[in-house]
A and B are shown apart, each in its own frame.
Chain A
């Protein structure tokens, strides 16, 4: 096998748009956060796909191997995963506060009760 082609990117775009679709359509705040997380993982796969080198191996130095995949996107995405969980935790904390204030986590219901 020489290359995987562009298939990785296309699936990434499908995932990205699924996440965006959930964020737009769903009025439920927890579902929205799940949508944001899907969008986020699609970006992770995009970066890791860019760093893949055909015939390369994981970037851990071993005698006798000269071709490694690109370690730089791996580092960036390691950081992004952890930051993503931190933002998810913050978002869910806000959801808990909204629930204790309005007794609902549905946007439409919150709009109608707050009027």
Chain B
């Protein structure tokens, strides 16, 4: 049953992606991207990543879509103009995609409990979350404690991006606009 849900959701996601590729309306593409992100969140729930689903629904589907819509409102451009021939890019992406699928045959099956990724340090984290840290949510204890430096780095990146956005939009006033900040 879980597999059927997984197949159906992933197939739907691929359909959204193809729809975004084909759509020429930028507003439509932005809204479809919001739907696509929410659909991603559903898949994360099926794959047991509830924290990631929560973040994707709030940040990916919410803030990203608002930022794109804000930029569309400032630029006021509605339709994408197509210039290039699509044949060579199609060939390139097709070749890379085929190579990746060929390479994926060697990967461990999805859900394999003995895959190398699931064996190394993760059992220690799950055990230590109860005994060493005392938080039932393992993701929280890894994020804030075992890998706290990663989170510090993340905050640095967000700060840098925020400073960058302010430097870009703070001085020369763009026409009839208010800055869309992240």
Q: Hey, which bits of chain A sit against chain B, CB under 8 A?
A: 1-11, 13-22, 24-28, 30-31, 33-34, 37-38, 41, 44-45, 48-62, 67-79, 81-90, 92-97, 99-100, 104-106, 108-109
Q: B181 near A89 (CB under 8 angstroms)?
A: yes
The 4 closest A-B pairs by CB, nearest first: A89-B182, A54-B111, A86-B161, A69-B48
Residues of A near B74 (CB, < 8 A) are: 96, 99
Secondary structure of the B contact surface, majority rule? helix
Contact among B17, B26, B112, B174 with A28 in the assembled complex (CB-CB below 8 Å): B26
A19 to B17, CA, bound (A): 8
Q: B59 near A24 (CB under 8 angstroms)?
A: no
A94 to B68, CA, bound (A): 12
Q: B164 near A58 (CB under 8 angstroms)?
A: no
Contact among B82, B157, B169 with A96 in the assembled complex (CB-CB below 8 Å): B169
Residues of B near A96 (CB, < 8 A) are: 71, 74-75, 168-169, 174, 177, 179-180
Q: B111 near A53 (CB under 8 angstroms)?
A: yes
Of the A-B pairs whose beta carbons lie under 8 Å apart in the complex, a sample of 5, sorted by A's number, is A38-B33, A54-B112, A55-B111, A90-B168, A99-B174
Q: Known: A96-B71, A106-B81. Contact between A71 and B125, CB under 8 A? A: yes
In the complex, besides A17-B97, A31-B29, A84-B60, 8 extra interface pairs with C-beta distance below 8 angstroms are A16-B100, A41-B56, A49-B47, A49-B110, A51-B49, A55-B111, A89-B162, A100-B172
Residues of B near A100 (CB, < 8 A) are: 172, 174-175, 177
Q: A72 near B121 (CB under 8 angstroms)?
A: yes
Q: A89 near B97 (CB under 8 angstroms)?
A: no
Q: Known: A10-B104, A48-B49. Contact between A83 and B84, CB under 8 A? A: no
